[in-house]
Structure 1
Amino acid sequence: MTQVHDHGGGVRSVEVPIPDNPLGHTLVYVVDTDRGPVLIDTGWDDPASWDTLAEGLTACGTSVADVHGVVITHHHPDHHGLSGRVREVSGAWVAMHAADIAIVRRTRETRPGRWYAYMAHKLTAAGAPEAHVAPLRADRPRRALPGLAPALPDREIVPGELLDLPGRRLRAVWTPGHTPGHVCLHLEERHPAGLTGRGRLFSGDHLLPRITPHIGLYEDPDDATVTDPLGDYLDSLERVGRLDPAEVLPAHQHAFADAPSRVRELLAHHEERLDGLLTLLAAPLTPWQLAELMEWNRPWDQIPYGSRNIAVSEAEAHLRRLVKLGRAEAVTGSEPVTYVAV
């Protein structure tokens, strides 16, 4: 049965399922405007997810065909997956931050084989064993990956500006880290239940009540720029904490209050994790070796193949932060490169 929640003040959410994912669902928010409903995210591109979204909109007293616009917090397929189909049915505009639009465009223009080759190169450089890398080099038809043909947005979200939601005040807040172009959306209106604070915040994956978002690497294979996504995320967290919204409406789990307290918890979590990694780096380790030793939600030998790639990306993001802080360094001449605490 489709789950729809009324958050008051012309805001509802629909639980759109994510197939075979422990998160369970994405909360797609339906915001009433003077020109019809605007969606914040759309959910995974799957027939059951589409049916759930359509049923949820009907339960909200509207339909997919009535949608005026779609605001995407970030490009991941559990958020952006159904955007193209919504636009086809309704003619709605689709908006996203420029940094994530660039990823969408690059994804659409790059053949799957190029991505597999790039992944193989990155994992080899990170110290992954040949048994893990070999499937990426196999000369066989490539299995389609989710999100390889995402809809290209037709509007750009500009940080600090109000979005085009007639009759509402929804301001974009750039919060890079989970992705380069992740945005939170600040509804600058009095809380409908009179809660103390400054409006409400649609937080996407940036700020969640009980879990921490993945912080990995999103890079252009043709760009050698060394990014610091964890540093970006921590800076963004502090920016959101200063907003002090009365309520946070995240893309997963449930709504919650006291954003500054949750921000402090996440900042402390990442500081504790960085300290723990320094202990592990008492001896030189490759990013793969570090990922094997890090604490995850299950033992390393129980982590699926694709999730190990994500874990190594997160280990690298933490290593970059430690290097930038001067707390770790690459070992000169090591191949694959290893890192050690300093």
Structure 2
Amino acid sequence: MTKFVVTPASETQRAAWLGGELPAVEKVRPGLWSIPVPIPINPLRYVLVYALELPDGVAIIDAGWNTDEAFGALCAGLAVAGYEITDVKGVLVTHIHPDHYGLAGRIREVSGAWIALHPADAGLLRERYDDEFIESLVARERALLVRSGVPGETLDELAGASMMIRHMVSTALPDRLIEDGEQVGLAGWDLRAIWTPGHSPGHLCFVSPGRRLLFSGDHVLAKITPIVAVHPQSGPNPLADYLESLAAVRRFEVDEVLPAHEYRFLELAERVDYVMAHHEERLAEIEKVVADTGGADCWTIATRLTWSRPWETIPAFMRRAANNETLAHLAWLEARGRVRHQAGDVDIWYSMES
């Protein structure tokens, strides 16, 4: 597949990303600021929080992890824009992963801001982050990995691989639930929510038709593609949801895409087309591996795919993500009659010709 490179909307932001640095706070345009908030121990390094000026303060899109470093960076970034954390009136959370949702509760405690989420993600909060539910969630993840064929010696490590980041979330139920197509209602902004499930069941993008901007969260990024995986809190076919969601945002005519990671860029439709083509290529690769093996479990299939680094060098958490992302592609292929699986203690996937 011919590589497509987007045009950065900010050369300095792109240079910081490529150089492994934290980008500067930027005034994107009048009334809109980009504030990088660091992510600890993560190759993404930072989340881009967007501050939207209001007559009586600011609203922010996403929040960052619940760490003192992240909170300090957010406060410092707001200060560059001329605001304090107490000026935050609302937190629009694109989805409930810790780097987007983690600080929302702490921000509300100090500012009184409302927190908004899509209902599909709001319904997952307690199971994901409350202590009384976490053992059940880990057990369900472990059962999924068993059915995928994950070797016994790595099962426990993979099943609990995300537990180390739970403390970086200040669990807070939302004050507002935002549905697909809803006008957000920020003074001076024609912001509308677009439900884009796939990376998470309740992922939201926000479009401003008048300003020709798309705040894309993790849905559409400049260089990488978000993880779309089957897991205990996903739907049965998250890749189908994701591809449909890509088509939903492609139709918007915008001048700039403002993602939560990497850097801002210009070409929405072209980037969407490239990501969709990438998944078609991945689906074809998986279909071929299934045919070549004559029947294999998901873990075995995942180990034979092309990844950004050798399989043996991928950390445990990312191996789990790779397995579950492979499972999402297999589910998509099965829904379209291109592969089939035989359920058992370990599920085996076959080509339709087998």
TM-score by length of 2: 0.87
Deviation at 1:137, TM superposition (A): 8.7
Unaligned runs of 5+ in 2: 1-21
Aligned pairs (5 A) from 1:259-338: 259-282=268-291, 283-331=294-342, 334-338=344-348
State the alpha-carbon separation in 2 of the partners of residues 74 and 36 from structure 1: 23
Q: Match of 1:131?
A: 153
1:240 to 249, 264, 274: 249
Q: Match of 1:213?
A: 226
| Inter-CA distance 137–201: structure 2 relative to 1 (3 Å threshold) | closer
Unaligned runs of 5+ in 1: 191-198
Aligned pairs (5 A) from 1:76-225: 76-109=97-130, 110-135=132-157, 145-146=166-167, 150-190=171-211, 199-220=212-233
Is the 8 Å Cα contact of residues 217 and 313 (structure 1) preserved in structure 2? yes
Decide which moves more: 91-100 or 297-306. 297-306
Is the 8 Å Cα contact of residues 141 and 159 (structure 2) preserved in structure 1? no
Deviation at 1:112, TM superposition (A): 2.9
Q: Match of 2:349?
A: 339
Is the 8 Å Cα contact of residues 4 and 56 (structure 1) preserved in structure 2? yes
Deviation at 1:145, TM superposition (A): 3.4
State the alpha-carbon separation in 2 of the partners of residues 12 and 127 from structure 1: 46
Matched, 1:54 2:75: yes
| Inter-CA distance 188–84: structure 2 relative to 1 (3 Å threshold) | same
| Inter-CA distance 43–335: structure 2 relative to 1 (3 Å threshold) | same
Is the 8 Å Cα contact of residues 52 and 58 (structure 2) preserved in structure 1? yes
Is the 8 Å Cα contact of residues 59 and 88 (structure 2) preserved in structure 1? yes
Deviation at 1:335, TM superposition (A): 3.8
Matched, 1:258 2:267: yes
State the alpha-carbon separation in 2 of the partners of residues 90 and 2 from structure 1: 26
Deviation at 1:2, TM superposition (A): 7.3
Instruction: Give the 3-state SS of the residue equivalent to 1:164 in structure 2.
Output: coil
State the alpha-carbon separation in 2 of the partners of residues 136 and 249 from structure 1: 33
| Inter-CA distance 285–20: structure 2 relative to 1 (3 Å threshold) | same
Is the 8 Å Cα contact of residues 175 and 184 (structure 1) preserved in structure 2? yes
> Over residues 38-93 of structure 1, what are the superposed CA-to-partner deviations in whole Å (9 max), with x where a residue is unaligned?
00000111111111111000111001001010000011000111101110010000
State the alpha-carbon separation in 1 of the partners of residues 145 and 120 from structure 2: 24
TM-score by length of 1: 0.90
Q: Give the letter for the 2:259 counterpart.
A: P
Decide which moves more: 112-121 or 89-98. 112-121
Is the 8 Å Cα contact of residues 229 and 317 (structure 1) preserved in structure 2? yes
Is the 8 Å Cα contact of residues 101 and 169 (structure 2) preserved in structure 1? no
Deviation at 1:113, TM superposition (A): 2.3
| Inter-CA distance 279–163: structure 2 relative to 1 (3 Å threshold) | same
Give the CA RMSD over aligned residues.
2.0
Q: Give the letter for the 2:285 counterpart.
A: G
State the alpha-carbon separation in 1 of the partners of residues 272 and 279 from structure 2: 11
| Inter-CA distance 210–23: structure 2 relative to 1 (3 Å threshold) | same
| Inter-CA distance 122–146: structure 2 relative to 1 (3 Å threshold) | farther
Deviation at 1:295, TM superposition (A): 1.9
Instruction: Give the 3-state SS of the residue equivalent to 1:68 in structure 2.
Output: strand
Q: Give the letter for the 1:328 counterpart.
A: V
> Over residues 190-209 of structure 1, what are the superposed CA-to-partner deviations in whole Å (9 max), with x where a residue is unaligned?
3xxxxxxxx10000000001
1:43 to 42, 60, 64: 64
Say how many residue pairs are matched: 326
Identity %: 40
| Inter-CA distance 129–97: structure 2 relative to 1 (3 Å threshold) | same
Is the 8 Å Cα contact of residues 93 and 100 (structure 2) preserved in structure 1? yes
Decide which moves more: 255-264 or 2-11. 2-11
Q: Higher RCO, 1 or 2 (CA under 8 Å, sep at least 6)?
A: 2
